[in-house]
A and B are shown apart, each in its own frame.
Chain A
Amino acid sequence: MWRDNLRAIFYIVLKDMRTYYLKPPAISWGIAFPVAWILAFYLRNPRSFQELLPGLVAMTILFSTTAAEAVVINFELRLGSLERLLLAPVSLPAVLSGKILGGALFGLLTTIVVTTGSALILGAHPQVLYLILIVLPSLFAFAALGALLCVSVKEVFEAQTLLNLPRFVMIFLCGVVFPVSAMPKVLQYFAYLMPLTYTVEGLRRSFTGGSILSVLLDSLVLVGFSLIFIYPAFGLLKRKFE
C-alpha cells in the first residue's frame, strides 16, 4: 500500500507542477509578488538591503508555497478532479501530501533562484547547512498552512482571500520588515505564535551567523507547525468525502 501511495504522490506532484505551477496565478503570487517587494526595498535603500534579505527570502517561501494551493485543492474539489484521484488506489492523506509537496517543491525552486540571485548580487555568504535546516521545514509548514486554509472553505476565491489574511499579518509581525525585538511586547508574543518568525530568525542566523542549536530549535518549531497544520487539514478533507 505504501508503494501505491508513494507512486501516487510522485505523479500528483509532477502533474500539478505541469498543470498549475507555471500558470499565471502561481507565477504572479509565487514569483512576481516577492520579487516586486524585493526590488522595491532594494531601490528604496540599497545600503541596508542586506539586513532585509532574510525577511525577503522568508516572504518568498511564504508566497511561493501557498501560491497555487487554492487552485490545486479548491478548484479540483469543485471540478471533482480531486475525487478522481481518490478513485485510484491511493489514500486521502497521500493525495493531500502530493498537493502539499507540489507547493513545497515550487517554493523550493523559487527560493533557490531568489536566494542565489540575491546572495550573488550582494556578495552574501549564507551558511548552506543552516539554510537547508530552515528552508525545508518552512516550505512544508507554509504549504501545509495553505492546504489547511484551502480545505476549510469551498470556493477558490474564498481560499485566496483566506490565504491573504495570515500572509499579510505575518509580513508585518514576523520580522520581515521590522525586527520583532523592536515591536511592542504584546505584538512580540503574537509574533512567536507564527511560523514565519522562526523562518526569518533562522534565515537571519544563516546569513549573519549564529549557533547551530538556535537554528535547530527554529527548525524543530517549524516541523511542529507543519504537523499542527497537516493533521487538521487531513481531517477536514476527509470530512468532505464522508
Chain B
Amino acid sequence: MNNQKAIQVSGLTKYYGETLAVDHISFEVEKGEVFGFLGPNGAGKTTTIRTITGLSKPTSGEVSVLGLEVSSKIMEIKKQIGVVPEISNLYDELSAFDNLLFMAQLFGVPRSQRRKRVEALLKMFGLLERKNSLFRTLSRGMKRSLTIASALVHEPQILFLDEPTAGLDVLAAHSLRNLIHNLKDQGITIFLTTHYLEEADLLCDRVAILLKGKILKVGTPDSLKALAQEGSIIEFSFKKGDPQFFEDLSKRLPEQKVVPVEETKIRIYGGIPSFILQSVLELSQEKGLEMLSVNSIKPTLEDAFIKITGLSPTVMRVEKEKKANVAG
C-alpha cells in the first residue's frame, strides 16, 4: 500500500457474531487533513476506528496506517496515533497531571521530557490551574479536554476523535473546535466521527457518509452540498404542526422530497419553486394552517446528508441528545 497516505482502508468488513457492523468499506485519508466520518448510530463509525487502531480485528479487508499494516505492525502504529474514545475514560482517582504522566509513561516518552510535555499540554488545554484536581472533580468539558490531551502526550501523527464534542456546552464545544483547528495547523491528521453535521462542515476537509456499515459518499463538504443543490430547497414554517398535512403534501408533490424538519417546519427538495409554493399555499388554506414564513434554503451538509441517506435530520438530532447524556 502507498505509504504517502495517513490511512488506507480496503474492503474492510467486520461482523460481530451474525451482525454485520462494517460492510466492505474502502477509503483513504491524506496526511494533514481532517477527515470526518458521519452517520447515525450503528452506521459503523466506532467499529471502523476500533479496527484501524487495532482494538478490534477485521473479519476481512486490509487496513494500513502511515504505510504500516495494522495486522502485523500494530505496536509501531500505536506509537504514531492518539485515540480519544467517545467516553472520557481517564482515571477518576488520579489528578489531571498524574493522568497525563501515566499516559506519557505508558507510551514511553523519555523520562527527561515527560513532566515538561505534560505541563505544556495542561497549559495548551487551559488546565494548568487544575493540574492537581482529581479527574472526577473536573467539569465535563475539562474531562473531554484532558482526554484529548492524554491522546497527544506522545506527539502522535494521527489523532482519532470519536464524538469529541458530545455532551459539551456551547462554549466548551467552541473552544474544542478551535483546538482541533490548531492541531490541524500543527500538521496532525485528524480522523473525526461525529453526529454534528455542522461541526463536520466547519472542521473537515473531507467527509465520508456512512449508513448501515456502508460508505455512501466521500467528498469535501462543498462537493456534497453541491449534490443537494441540484434542485431548489424551500422551507415552510407554520404556526402549528399537522402530520396529516405533511402526508397529504407528499401525495400532492410525488416528484419532490417533502421532509419534516421540526414539528412545524418542512423542507421541499426539488421542483419548480412557483409550482411548489402554489401547491403548499393551496393545501395549507384547505387545512386551515397558518403559514408563518417561506425561505429559499442554501444547502447545508445536513441537506446533503438527508439527500444521500434518505434519513430525516430528526434521527440525528435525537441521537445527538442521547450521546450528550452518556458522554462526558
Which residues of chain A have C-beta atoms less than 8 A from B55's C-beta? 83, 86-87, 241
Do residues A79 and B89 form an inter-chain contact, with CB atoms below 8 A?
A: yes
User: Given that A86-B55, A89-B79, A241-B56 are known contacts, is A8 also in contact with B89, CB under 8 Å in the complex?
Assistant: no
User: In the complex, what distance in Å separates the CA atom of A88 from the CA atom of B102?
Assistant: 11
Annotate B34-67 by CB proximity to A: 1 below 8 A, 0 otherwise: 0000000000000000000111110000000000
Do residues A84 and B90 form an inter-chain contact, with CB atoms below 8 A?
A: yes
Which of B1-9, B104-112, B213-221, B239-247 makes up part of the contact surface? B104-112
User: In the complex, what distance in Å separates the CA atom of A88 from the CA atom of B107?
Assistant: 6
Do residues A83 and B106 form an inter-chain contact, with CB atoms below 8 A?
A: no
User: Given that A1-B75, A81-B89 are known contacts, is A87 also in contact with B83, CB under 8 Å in the complex?
Assistant: yes
In the complex, whether B91 has a CB less than 8 A from a CB of chain A is: yes
User: In the complex, what distance in Å separates the CA atom of A148 from the CA atom of B56?
Assistant: 21
Interface residues of A in 47-106 (CB under 8 A from B): 79-81, 83-91
User: Given that A8-B106, A241-B55 are known contacts, is A84 also in contact with B89, CB under 8 Å in the complex?
Assistant: yes
User: Given that A88-B103, A89-B107, A242-B56 are known contacts, is A15 also in contact with B79, CB under 8 Å in the complex?
Assistant: no
In the complex, whether B94 has a CB less than 8 A from a CB of chain A is: yes
Min CB distance, B204 to chain A, in Å? 23
In the complex, whether A190 has a CB less than 8 A from a CB of chain B is: no
Interface residue from B54, B75, B78, B87 paired with A80 (Cβ < 8 Å): B87
Interface residue from A7, A241, A242 paired with B105 (Cβ < 8 Å): A7
Q: Is the interface of B mostly helix, strand, loop or mixed?
A: loop
User: In the complex, what distance in Å separates the CA atom of A19 from the CA atom of B103?
Assistant: 15
Do residues A15 and B56 form an inter-chain contact, with CB atoms below 8 A?
A: no
Min CB distance, A53 to chain B, in Å? 35
Do residues B53 and A87 form an inter-chain contact, with CB atoms below 8 A?
A: yes
Annotate B65-108 by CB proximity to A: 1 below 8 A, 0 otherwise: 00000000001101100010101011101100000001101111
User: In the complex, what distance in Å separates the CA atom of A4 from the CA atom of B78?
Assistant: 11
Interface size class of A (residues with CB under 8 A): 20 to 34
In the complex, whether A189 has a CB less than 8 A from a CB of chain B is: no
Min CB distance, A74 to chain B, in Å? 14
Do residues A90 and B106 form an inter-chain contact, with CB atoms below 8 A?
A: yes
- From A11, A12, A79, A87, residue with most partner B Cβ within 10 Å: A87
Min CB distance, A73 to chain B, in Å? 14
Kindly report which residue of chain B lies nearest to residue A7, judged by CB atoms: B108
Which residues of chain B have C-beta atoms less than 8 A from A241's C-beta? 55-56
Do residues A84 and B75 form an inter-chain contact, with CB atoms below 8 A?
A: no
Do residues B90 and A81 form an inter-chain contact, with CB atoms below 8 A?
A: yes
Min CB distance, A18 to chain B, in Å? 8
Do residues A84 and B78 form an inter-chain contact, with CB atoms below 8 A?
A: no
Which residues of chain A have C-beta atoms less than 8 A from B91's C-beta? 15, 19, 81
Interface residue from A7, A15, A80 paired with B89 (Cβ < 8 Å): A80
Kindly report which residue of chain B lies nearest to residue A10, judged by CB atoms: B105
Min CB distance, A211 to chain B, in Å? 45
Min CB distance, B100 to chain A, in Å? 13
Do residues B105 and A11 form an inter-chain contact, with CB atoms below 8 A?
A: yes
- From A7, A79, A88, A241, residue with most partner B Cβ within 10 Å: A88
Do residues A87 and B90 form an inter-chain contact, with CB atoms below 8 A?
A: no
Which residues of chain A have C-beta atoms less than 8 A from B54's C-beta? 86
Interface residue from B56, B87, B93, B105 paired with A19 (Cβ < 8 Å): B93
Min CB distance, A241 to chain B, in Å? 6
Which residues of chain B have C-beta atoms less than 8 A from A84's C-beta? 85, 89-90
Min CB distance, B277 to chain A, in Å? 52
User: In the complex, what distance in Å separates the CA atom of A241 from the CA atom of B94?
Assistant: 25
Which residues of chain A have C-beta atoms less than 8 A from B56's C-beta? 241-242
5 A–B contacts, CB within 8 A, in A order: A8-B106, A80-B85, A83-B85, A87-B53, A89-B107
Known: A7-B106, A19-B94, A84-B89. 5 other contacts (CB 8 A): A81-B91, A87-B55, A88-B78, A88-B106, A88-B107
Task: Sort A-B residue pairs by CB-CB distance and give the 8 closest, nearest first.
Answer: A80-B89, A88-B106, A89-B78, A11-B105, A19-B93, A87-B83, A89-B75, A89-B79
